[in-house]
């Protein structure tokens, strides 16, 4: 059973729309959650971290965490073609040897002009 699940996509949205990316996790005691953006052929880049229930906003990005339902989401407002990338969700499980992140498989986002 995969511990962090993401829809692989592609998720296609028109330019200017809101893109909603979702991630579910299995370890109820997980405490830390991260979103990485990975452009094709490049390495992942940390764009958001969230640690408590609720919303966290940073520019056009909003991370939402619901620990009771065990999901974390990333909203991208006013989507731009430059947002086209794969978005990786990463979770720090409570039961963890070595404080290691568990990554989801990623969701590919395509923003069409």
Partner 1 sequence: DGGITQSPKYLFRKEGQNVTLSCEQNLNHDAMYWYRQDPGQGLRLIYYSQIVNDFQKGDIAEGYSVSREKKESFPLTVTSAQKNPTAFYLCASSIHGNYGYTFGSGTRLTVV
90 binds partner 1 (CB under 8 A): yes
In angstroms and rounded to an integer, the radius of gyration of the C-alpha atoms of the chain is 14
Cis-peptide into 95, omega within 30 deg: no
If you search the block for the tokens 């809101």, which residue do you land on?
Answer: 18
- Number of Cβ within 10 Å of residue 86's Cβ equals 20
Residue 48-67 contact track with partner 1, rule CB under 8 A, x = bound: -x------------------
Distance CA 54, CA 62 (A): 10
Question: Based on CB atoms, which residue is closest to partner 1, 17 or 49?
Answer: 49
- Taking CB under 8 A as the criterion, the residue among 42, 54, 78, 80 binding partner 1 is 42
Residue 78 CB-half CA count within 13 A: 3
Sole window of 13-21, 55-63, 73-81, 95-103 interacting with partner 1 (rule: CB under 8 A): 95-103
Q: Interface with partner 1 by CB under 8 A: which residues?
A: 31-32, 34, 41-46, 49, 88, 90, 92, 96, 98-101, 103-106
């Amino acid at each position: 059973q995969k511990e962090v699940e993401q829809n692989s996509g592609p998720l296609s949205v028109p330019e200017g729309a809101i893109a909603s990316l979702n991630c579910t996790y299995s370890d109820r005691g997980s405490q830390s959650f991260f979103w990485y953006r990975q452009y094709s052929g490049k390495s992942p880049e940390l764009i958001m971290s969230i640690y408590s229930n609720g919303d966290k906003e940073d520019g056009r990005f909003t991370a939402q965490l619901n620990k009771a339902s065990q999901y974390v989401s990333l909203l991208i407002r006013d989507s731009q073609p430059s947002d086209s990338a794969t978005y990786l969700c990463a979770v720090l499980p409570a039961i963890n040897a070595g404080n290691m992140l568990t990554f989801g498989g990623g969701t590919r986002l395509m923003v069409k002009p």
